[in-house]
Structure 1
Amino acid sequence: MKAIILAGGSGTRLYPVTIPTNKHFLPIYNKPMIYYPLSLVMLLGIRDVLFIVNPEDINDFKKLFKDGSHLGMNIQYQIQEKPNGLAEGLILAEDFIRNDNICYMLGDNVFFGHDLVKIMADAKNEIEENGGAYVFGYYVKDPERFGIVEFDEHGNVKSIEEKPEKPKSNYAVVGMYFYDNKAVEIAKKVKPSDRGELEITSVNEEYLKKGKLKVKLLGRGFAWFDAGTHDSFLEAGEFVATIEKKTGLMIGCIEEIAYNNGWITKEQLLNLAKPLKKTDYGRYLTELAKEL
């Protein structure tokens, strides 16, 4: 399985902060926002990652992640000329995906919870064994802002609708999707919505029509932040800060995950820590190398 992280867009909901910079570089507490979805991909053991980015931001992404070899990964980049919708990312990634299945992440979503990685691994395994699409739902108070899934009395998915005026439930589909290789061809057939975008919900709807869409609800014990608004951005940062201060462990530390995965050596970890030695982040990496 390969991973695609959508990190383009104009970040208008965070204006004026995002006028001079891409929102995915903004700090969620002590690390860039984009580290959080990347860290989850890494925790799944996925080494091949494609970032879909704006033309003006590609050099900054390359400065941050290079080709990924320092993390034992293969990181590539694909330009999205304009924000034409989430489903367009699947089309742009066609050459990268080839014959693989897909973990598709939104770059501004932050997740945390007990057994989160196991739940994601279950979704990954389901797609690799049986195909189809596997997405996650989360209860929200403002369902008109999201893609919303409706269930029948037996818990089966009845419908899925993008930003409905009259929502049929309060369960939003979050920015983490698992697809088989058919997703690219499905995305190519999606027609622009009334908003003029290729909606990822349309891809999910097609899988639903084929009886190949699974939705797992993330209940209490899970935190999800769509960090593309000022309030949720602040909430995500405060949440990460609280967890890290209480536990002494970092969330979304990509160097730590690469080391724990055996993708880099102790010497490589220490080299990555050196430029950061005056920061808590750098000291954390150094102590990690000493402990293990």
Structure 2
Amino acid sequence: MRALVLSGGTGSRLRPFTHSLPKQLIPVANTPVLVHVLRNLRRLGIDEIGIIVGDTRAEIEAALGDGAEHGVRITYIPQEAPLGLAHCVTIAEDFLGDEDFVMYLGDNVLPDGIEAAADRFREERPDALILVTKVPDPQAFGVAELADGDRVSALVEKPERPRSDLAVMGVYFFTSKIHAATRAIVPSARGELEITDAIQHLVERGGAVVGHRYDGYWKDTGTIDDLLECNRVMLDRLEAGVRGEVDESSVLTGTVVIEPGAVVTGSRVAGPAVIGRGSRISGCRIGPYTAVGPDCELADSSLGDSIILEGASVQGVQGLRGSLVGRWARVRAEAEETYIDRFGGTDRRLLVGDHSRVEGSA
């Protein structure tokens, strides 16, 4: 079995961060989403992975290389424009050949793994197996209608009156029969070749299409709030470990990871939290559900439930929560007592893109 990972999206809902960083490379718990995907695929025994890339190919290729670091071999497949998920299958046909494959959206996080779905696909060999999960708002998703157990009878994209609460997730298993289906469909009203149309083509021609109910955690990290939620979930799964330096005046509580080369002085860190390699933390209060990336510098600040990306600096800022600070951004406040008095008890949120500079004063 091979894998096809889709990483060509623009990530418009995550701007300004995705102006300079592919959304699939934004980290949760200090690991890029795309690396979480590769780890899941490797757990299935898959080592041949094709990655669909668009305008951000250079950044993705620089981050993942040939895949050797992750125990896989990566083939990059360029897509000239976002023309739909079925179009991705079409342009990857030479890479996929006649093999079975799993198609995995590169901004989806499933930390509980997909081994059960893969085992079922290998045992039953339907033409397609799609992961589905119950959602409270099926109008916002593609919905699978099932009959006779788990047989897919219809797929409906964002129905006004849903007949099912099973959303189609971002993981699909296919045999080579999907190729004839993708060639048979035409672009949708939005000008894309929809994978739901290709699967529906299989259904209407008597193909075996199975909806596999997934009960684990799933998140499409398409918005800031989704990223922060996913970060919380992944931090909850960490095992504590101090491989950097923590001085005697600092206090660590809960599950805290201090990566190699990080230095923590005069600070309190409450887990779950992770401090990235080479980062320096001094005089800070780091609250739960915070991931500080590599080579950051935080001083005289308090923050929680936030993601601080590589190389960022936060100086003299109190009460940050639910924030995302981009790579090598600089956030600084004057350490005036009047500033602390005025804002000290109020949580504030910052969404700061890469290389930005933010200063505050009393």
**If the TM-score is normalised by the length of the shorter chain, which range does it land in?**
0.7 to 0.9
Q: Against the structure 1 CA distance between its residues 199 and 10, is the aligned structure 2 distance closer, same or farther, given a 3 Å change threshold?
A: same
SS of the residue aligned with 2:84? coil
SS of the residue aligned with 2:116? helix
Describe how 1:1-292 pairs up with structure 2 within 5 A: 1-54=1-54, 56-113=55-112, 116-126=113-123, 130-152=125-147, 154=149, 156-209=151-204, 210-219=206-215, 222-244=216-238, 247-248=239-240, 277-278=260-261
Q: Is 1:67–1:75's contact at 8 Å kept on the other side of the alignment?
A: yes
Letter in 1 for 2:32: P
C-alpha displacement at 1:156, in angstroms?
A: 4.1
Q: Against the structure 1 CA distance between its residues 181 and 16, is the aligned structure 2 distance closer, same or farther, given a 3 Å change threshold?
A: same
C-alpha displacement at 1:117, in angstroms?
A: 4.1
> What is residue 244 of structure 2 aligned with on the other side?
none
C-alpha displacement at 1:121, in angstroms?
A: 2.9
C-alpha displacement at 1:248, in angstroms?
A: 4.6
Any unmatched runs of 5+ in structure 1?
A: 250-275, 284-292
Alpha-carbon distance in 1 for matches of 2:30, 2:71: 23
> What is residue 258 of structure 1 aligned with on the other side?
none
C-alpha displacement at 1:71, in angstroms?
A: 3.6
Is the radius of gyration larger for structure 1 or structure 2? 2
TM-score, normalised with respect to structure 2 = 0.64
Alpha-carbon distance in 2 for matches of 1:5, 1:154: 29
Moved more, 98-107 or 147-156: 147-156
C-alpha displacement at 1:162, in angstroms?
A: 1.5
Once the two structures are superposed, residues 159-192 of structure 1 have per-residue CA deviations (whole angstroms, 9 ceiling, x without a partner) of 1111222222111010011000121221122211
Q: Against the structure 1 CA distance between its residues 12 and 100, is the aligned structure 2 distance closer, same or farther, given a 3 Å change threshold?
A: same
Alpha-carbon distance in 2 for matches of 1:38, 1:73: 8
Alpha-carbon distance in 1 for matches of 2:81, 2:18: 16
Higher helix share: 1
Q: Against the structure 1 CA distance between its residues 155 and 98, is the aligned structure 2 distance closer, same or farther, given a 3 Å change threshold?
A: closer
Q: Is 1:91–1:188's contact at 8 Å kept on the other side of the alignment?
A: yes
SS of the residue aligned with 1:112? coil
Alpha-carbon distance in 2 for matches of 1:30, 1:168: 39
Alpha-carbon distance in 1 for matches of 2:195, 2:126: 18
Letter in 1 for 2:225: D
Once the two structures are superposed, residues 123-182 of structure 1 have per-residue CA deviations (whole angstroms, 9 ceiling, x without a partner) of 3413xx634101111111221221101134755433111122222211101001100012
> What is residue 286 of structure 1 aligned with on the other side?
none
Q: Is 1:149–1:159's contact at 8 Å kept on the other side of the alignment?
A: yes
TM-score, normalised with respect to structure 1 = 0.78
Alpha-carbon distance in 1 for matches of 2:27, 2:237: 16
Any unmatched runs of 5+ in structure 2?
A: 242-258, 263-274, 279-362
Query: RCO higher in 1 or 2 (8 Å CA, sep ≥ 6)?
Result: 1
SS of the residue aligned with 2:85? coil
Letter in 1 for 2:5: I
Q: Report the RMSD for the aligned CA atoms in angstroms.
A: 2.2
SS of the residue aligned with 2:19? coil
SS of the residue aligned with 2:111? strand
SS of the residue aligned with 1:45? coil
SS of the residue aligned with 1:37? helix
Equivalent pairs, count: 248
Q: Against the structure 1 CA distance between its residues 231 and 130, is the aligned structure 2 distance closer, same or farther, given a 3 Å change threshold?
A: same
Q: Against the structure 1 CA distance between its residues 93 and 123, is the aligned structure 2 distance closer, same or farther, given a 3 Å change threshold?
A: farther
